[in-house]
Amino acid sequence: MLLMRNTQTLGVALGLALVASLGVRSTLVAQAPPNPYRIVEGWAQLPNGKPMGAVGKVTIDPDGRHIWAVVRCDRLADPARFGDECRDSKSDPILRFSPEGKVVKSFGGGIFIWPHGLDVDQDGNVWVTDAVADNRIPKGDKRGHAVFKFSPEGKVLMTLGAPGQSGNAPDRFNSPSDVVVSPGGDVFIADGHNENGNNRIAKFSKDGKFIKAWGKTGWAPGEFRAIHAIAMDARGRVFVGDRGNNRVQIFDQDGKSLTTPWTQFGRPSGIAFDSKDQVYVADSESDDIENPGWEEGIRIGDAKSGWVHTFILFPWGDPRQRAGDGAEFVAVDRDGNIYGGEPRPKRLQKYVRVRP
């Protein structure tokens, strides 16, 4: 009798242990590891207390310390103006922030309707895309569908595309969403922002001559739906945020696919790298319809293997909200601080690591 009781007790204990074990395992699968980063409240400050407009892409200056950001002109209360915030404004949308969050340089006023993508080349020149859609360009307006190269002081040095004219010819774009410049000076443009647009990568030489393009609208490898981000790692590989297909695609600089598309980074809106060969991917659009079961936030992983090891959850994310939220763009400075550009919340966030 005692043996039977002991056996029953042991069985119950084992059963409880198994349930607990399964519960822990389920929790680990469903939830992200502890977030080692914290937000620095109020870090970014515009001159004279001006309220922040919608924040586009952010990137790091060649000095590793200053931060460049697209801030779409003025803070507009009407949500219907998302997509053309600079249409009626002369405010500068291209801002350079000090490590302390103060604006130390600005330019670009009146040139854009919807400034979006941004890169700074090794010489400090600033490249910016205008991703405005055709239906938001006022009749006769010669802005949009172009990529501009500025000197560090803000002088226009080159224009790619035909401002105000969309198209799929080599010298035309359709809402180009992002740009990256290789160490050798070649320019790669994510063309473009719309699910049924050109959906291609266009490559130009450093002097603006068209070299080639690859990609089209679709779901297969090498095809895209709403390209939202483009970035280059230390190996020279081209990472493309194929947001409409919920994946990151990786190519060499001639357009050859290098690996099976990565789907472990959610619905990618922005991509960046640090000096430790880590990749940072901002997901601002995972929701119950577009990418059910995934949370909005910034995922950090190994750039070589793609293994995700850290997740910065966007704490105000709501999977029932389809408009997109949180950081669409991400950058990392030389000290490992992370910056998130949040268009709809109208914030430029700084994250610092508080735990190993």
Please state the domain extents for the chain: 1-31, 36-353
Average pLDDT, the chain: 91
Q: What's this model's pTM, rounded to 2 decimal places? A: 0.90
Closest CA to 119 of 110, 128, 130: 128
Neighbours of 121 (CB within 10 A): 18
Q: Say yes or no to pLDDT of 62 above 80.
A: yes
Tokens of 23: 């519960």
Tens digit of each residue's pLDDT (9 = 90 or more) over 228-283: 999 999 999 999 999 999 999 999 999 999 999 999 999 999 999 999 999 999 99
Tokens of 145: 């569908």
Tens digit of each residue's pLDDT (9 = 90 or more) over 35-54: 999 999 999 999 999 999 99
Q: Calculate mean pLDDT across residues 196-202.
A: 96
**How do strand 278-283 and strand 268-273 relate by DSSP bridges?**
antiparallel
Please give the single-letter amino acid code of residue 93.
P
Q: Calculate mean pLDDT across residues 331-348.
A: 96
List 270's β-bridge partners, or say none. 282
Q: What is the pLDDT of residue 324?
A: 67
Residue 168: HSE in the Cβ half-sphere, 13 Å Cα cutoff: 9
* CATH of span 36-353: 2.120.10.30
